[in-house]
Amino acid sequence: MPDKLRVGVVGAGRWSRSAHLPGFQRSPHCDVVAICDLNEDMAKEAAQQFDIEDVYTDYEKMLQRDDIDVIDVCTRGGIGDKNNHEPLAFAAVQAGKHCLCEKPVAHDYKSTWKAHELATDKGLKTKVGLTFRYAPSMQYMRDLIAEGFVGDPYIFNGYEQNSQFISPTEPVTKVDLIPETENEEIKVSSIEGYGAPIIDLSLWFVDSPLKSLVGLLYNFVPYRTMPSGDKIRTNIDDGDTYIGEYKNGGFCTIQSSYVTVNSYPGLEARLYGSQGALICRLGAELEHQEVLRKSTSPNAHEVEYVEVDIPDKYYPPGYTPGEPWPAMFYANLVHNFMEEIVNDTEENQGNFAQSAMVQEIINAVELSHRERRWVDLPL
């Protein structure tokens, strides 16, 4: 193992620059040595901004380098076959690199499992951009649950709702919001982009797979405006929900939407158990971008939720109070991944296997919606 891990990043767009690259800069365990983007000017700009030595436009050339240990896939996921995370993640692992990949690794959970198996066979670690489990408050909430704070988990309620794409007149700039044809049935969108993190948290906190679920995909904003001013039909899931039954006895209700009035990320995770409850909210409107509340009062007349202080150890290197959540949470994610690789233990949270379980639920919700029925898991 080299002194410092050497990282190559694919994608020099908005999220790469606001979350991934600042995150790598903050971990003492790595250096970003190469950046690749189809748009050479963007790659060069990012290289200059983040002091990265080498620039590529062809990721395969970057993958051929023996001196790169980790590949970060931060390209745009996209609806249906527009997703290029999948070939990039497979290529990175095939080339023997540890891999961080933005969600979804693949639209089909079976393909995500294959990527996980390939990485495991090669002794490589993986990580998926399940950002919100790396909020300090969420990491602490998980530890409190593991210590028995809530007792037996009964009910998990979770949502990620924001108003990023609520306007039908604001020009659509994100290609993955634009379906290819007008007359097709509703396409999966919000649940994959915005539901995935809360599904991840629901599985992680309750520590049980689901045995069945019933779900809905809805399209609330039927027409959107192109940059040209033309209106197009956008039959995509911009709001969705499901009820799930856990194998270990409890149930969950989950919602996601990007057309509901709320701040970004607008995520809330609530776990109610036999002895207590924890509620964690993440939102740009909060002073510290996150708040964790707890209650252990057994008497219904005395229940009071009090704010919990998050211990310092849950914060990323270089944390400054009030810093924006993308930098804070992603610095935690990246540093955690670098530590998992450097420490060379079995630890590998939020990896391709976890992403496959999340994706299986997304695939099951789609099936449930299309056939209007309960769906049993595993699929």
Ligand X SMILES: NC(=O)c1ccc[n+]([C@@H]2O[C@H](COP(=O)([O-])OP(=O)(O)OC[C@H]3O[C@@H](n4cnc5c(N)ncnc54)[C@H](O)[C@@H]3O)[C@@H](O)[C@H]2O)c1
Q: Does 131 bind ligand X (CB under 6 A)?
A: yes
Binding of ligand X at residue 14 (CB under 6 A)?
yes
Residue from 5, 9, 16, 244 that binds ligand X (CB under 6 A)? 16
Report how far apart, in Å, the C-alpha atoms of 264 and of each of 135, 156, 259, 274 are: 14, 21, 11, 31
25 binds ligand X (CB under 6 A): no
DSSP state of 17: I
For position 248 contacting ligand X by CB under 6 A, the verdict is no
Q: Residue 37 interacts with ligand X (CB under 6 A)?
A: yes
Q: Indicate the residue among 130 and 277 with the shorter CB distance to ligand X.
A: 130
Note whether 74 binds ligand X by CB under 6 A: yes
Segment near ligand X (CB under 6 A); pick from 9-17, 232-240, 289-297, 310-318: 9-17
Closer by beta carbon to ligand X, 131 or else 161: 131
Token pair 């008497």 is found at 299
Quick one: which segment of 76-84, 106-114, 200-208, 226-234 binds ligand X (CB under 6 A)? 76-84
190 binds ligand X (CB under 6 A): no
Footprint of ligand X on residues 80-119 (CB under 6 A)?
84, 102
Residue from 22, 23, 77, 273 binding ligand X (CB under 6 A): 77
Residue 51 contacts by C-beta under 8 Å, 6 or more apart in sequence? none
Residue whose CB is less far from ligand X, 84 or 253: 84
CA proximity to 199, closest of 135, 139, 130:
130
First to last CA, the chain: 39
CA dist 249 and 63 (Å) reads: 45
Residue 15 binds to ligand X (criterion: CB under 6 A): yes
CA–CA gap between residue 130 and residue 12 (Å, rounded): 19
Please report how close the Cβ of residue 369 comes to ligand X at its closest, in angstroms: 22
Among 5, 24, 75, 153, the residue binding ligand X under the rule CB under 6 A is 75
Site for ligand X in 192-231 (CB under 6 A): 193
Closest to 74 in 3D by CA, of 59, 54, 93? 59
Residue the block writes with tokens 């993986």: 126
Nearest distance from C-beta of residue 142 to ligand X, angstroms:
18
Segment contacting ligand X by CB under 6 A, of 14-22, 145-153, 205-213, 221-229? 14-22
**Contact in structure between 4 and 29 (CB atoms under 8 Å):** yes
CB-nearer residue toward ligand X: 175 or 261:
175
Strands, E, within the chain: which ranges? Answer: 5-10, 30-36, 54-56, 70-73, 98-101, 126-128, 153-161, 210-218, 223-225, 231-233, 239-246, 251-257, 267-273, 277-282, 290-295, 306-307, 375-376
By CB under 6 A, residue 350 contacts ligand X: no
Would you count residue 13 as binding ligand X (CB under 6 A)? yes
Kindly tell me which residue out of 5, 7, 9, 10 binds ligand X, with binding defined by CB under 6 A: 10
Q: How many CB atoms lie within 10 A of CB 66?
A: 7
Residue (of 157, 144, 155) closest to 296 by Cα position: 144
Q: Is 38 in the site for ligand X (CB under 6 A)?
A: yes
Q: 271: helix, coil or strand?
A: strand
Q: Report in angstroms how near the CB of residue 172 gets to ligand X at its nearest.
A: 13
Q: Does 44 bind ligand X (CB under 6 A)?
A: no
10 Å Cβ neighbour count for 174? 11
Q: Does 160 bind ligand X (CB under 6 A)?
A: no
Query: Which residues are near ligand X by CB under 6 A?
Result: 10-16, 36-39, 42, 59, 74-77, 84, 102, 129, 131, 193
